[in-house]
Amino acid sequence: MAIDARHVSKTFSKYTALRDVSLKVDDGELIALLGPSGSGKTTLLRIIAGLDMADRCAETAVFVNGDDISRQPLSRRRVGFVFQHYALFRHMSVFENVAFGLRVRPRRERLSEPKLRKRVNDLLELIQLTTWSSHYPSQLSGGQRQRVALARALAIEPSVLLLDEPFGALDAKVRQELRRWLRELHERVHVTSVLVTHDQEEALEVADRVVIMNQGRIEQVGTPDEVFHRPASEFVLRFLGNVNLFHGRTFVRPHELDIDLQPIDPESVSARIVRIQSAGPIVRIELTTQDGEALHVEIPHDRHRELQLIAGAVVYVRVKSPALIRQHAGAGH
C-alpha cells in the first residue's frame, strides 16, 4: 500500500474542504482525483504531501509507504510534488532546478558531482530538454516548464509522485501531448502517482483508477470504465459528460441516442433541431422537445449524411438500446 489516508477531514476558517475521506492507493498505481473546483481534491493531495495538516482527530492518519507522515518533517518525506504553476526556481537554470533536490541532501548522502551530473542529464534526456539545460524557466514554454518540474520531482526518486492540476495552465494541444507523455513515463518509471484534475477526459485517459470527489467527499472510486459506465451517483454521471434526462426519468448520454425521421419506436420523442455542429469526429446536435426540454445527441458522420438533417426540422429521438435505459434508471438517486 503506497498511500493510505484514513478519515481525513479539513476545515478552513470559512468552509469544510474535506469530510472524513479515506483513500488507498496501491504501489505503482496512477490514480486521478477528479472533481469540480471546491471539491477538496487539491486539499487531499496537499495533505498527503504534508503541505497541509488534516484536522486533528483520533482516527485520522495518513501513511505513505507505511510511514505516518505527521511524524516526519517535510524535507524527509521523499514526496515528488508537481504544482499547477510549475513553481520552478526562477533564478536557477533548468539543470540546477533538476539538480536542486540532489544538492540539498545532507553531506553524507550527497552524490559526487560527476554522478549528480549524470543523473540530471539522464533526466533531461527523459524530458527531452537536454539542449535547454542552461536556460532559465522564463525562457521556456509552459509545457517545457512543466516537464522540468516533473524531472525535478523525479530526481529525488520519490516514493510517491503527486501532481496538482499539472496541465491546467496549458493550452489544449500541449495538454493532450503531455498527458500521453505522462502515461508513457508512468509505464516506464512506475512510481505511485496521484494526479489532481478537473478535466474528466484527462482523468479517464491517464489514470488506472479514478476517484471522483464532490463537496469534500468521495463519490466513487473505480477504473475509468467503471465510473463512466456504472456511475454510482447522479453527480458522477453528470460530471463525466453530457447527459440527457429522457422521459423525465432516464439518464442517457448523447452518444446513446439516435435520430430518426419517422417515429419508429413507441418510446421516441419528437423534437426540433436547434443547432448542428458537424466539425469534429462526431456530429453534435442540439434539440428541444415539445415540452421545451433540451436534448443533446451525438451521431456519426455517416448517419448524419444519411439523414440529411437541417436546423429547424422536427425529428424523432430514441434510445439506441433498451439495455441502456435499465442501466441508468437506477442512477437517478
Partner 1 sequence: MTRRVLTGVSVAFVGILILLPLIAVFIEAFRKGIPFYLAAISDPLAISALRLTVLTAAISLAANLIFGLAASWLIAKFSFPGRSLLLSLIDLPFAVSPVISGLIFILLFGAQGWFGNALTERGIQIVFATPGVILATVFVTFPFIARELIPLMQEQGTEEEEAAMLLGASGWKTFRRVTLPNIRWALVYGVVLANARAMGEFGAVSVVSGHIRGRTNTLPLHIEILYNEYNFSAAFAVATLLASLALVTLAAKAFLEWRIRAEERPLAEEA
User: Which of 171, 184, 225, 260 forms a contact with partner 1 (CB under 8 A)?
Assistant: 171
What whole-number distance in Å separates Cα of residue 176 and Cα of residue 173?
A: 5
Cβ–Cβ under 8 Å, residues 244 and 287 = no
Q: Which is nearer to partner 1, 170 or 319 (CB)?
A: 170
User: Which of 126, 156, 232, 307 forms a contact with partner 1 (CB under 8 A)?
Assistant: 156
How many chain residues touch partner 1 (CB under 8 A)?
37
What whole-number distance in Å separates Cα of residue 245 and Cα of residue 256?
A: 12
Strand partners, 82: 163
Q: Quick check: 74 binds partner 1 (CB under 8 A)?
A: yes
- Which span (86-94, 200-208, 236-244, 292-300) binds partner 1, by CB under 8 A? 86-94
Q: Which is nearer to partner 1, 173 or 188 (CB)?
A: 173
DSSP string for residues in 123-148: HHHHTT-GGGTTS-GGGS-HHHHHHH
Cβ–Cβ under 8 Å, residues 329 and 231 = no
User: Which of 77, 175, 186, 253 forms a contact with partner 1 (CB under 8 A)?
Assistant: 77
Nearest approach, Cβ of 1 to partner 1 (angstroms)? 21
Question: What does the chain come to in residues?
Answer: 333
Q: For 277, how many CA atoms within 13 A lie in the half-sphere containing its CB?
A: 9
Q: Quick check: 160 binds partner 1 (CB under 8 A)?
A: no
Cβ–Cβ under 8 Å, residues 194 and 160 = yes
**String marking each residue 91-130 x if it binds partner 1 according to CB under 8 A:** x--------xx--xx-------------------------
- Which span (19-27, 132-140, 244-252, 265-273) binds partner 1, by CB under 8 A? 132-140
Q: Which is nearer to partner 1, 162 or 287 (CB)?
A: 162
Chain position carrying cell 429521438: 317
The three grid cell numbers given for residue 5, joined into one nine-digit string: 489516508
| Strand pairing class (67-68; 314-319) | unpaired
Give, as ranges, the residues between 40 and 59 that touch partner 1 (CB under 8 A): 49-51
Residues that bind partner 1 (CB under 8 A): 49-51, 74-81, 83, 85, 87-91, 100-101, 104-105, 137-144, 152-153, 155-156, 170-171, 174
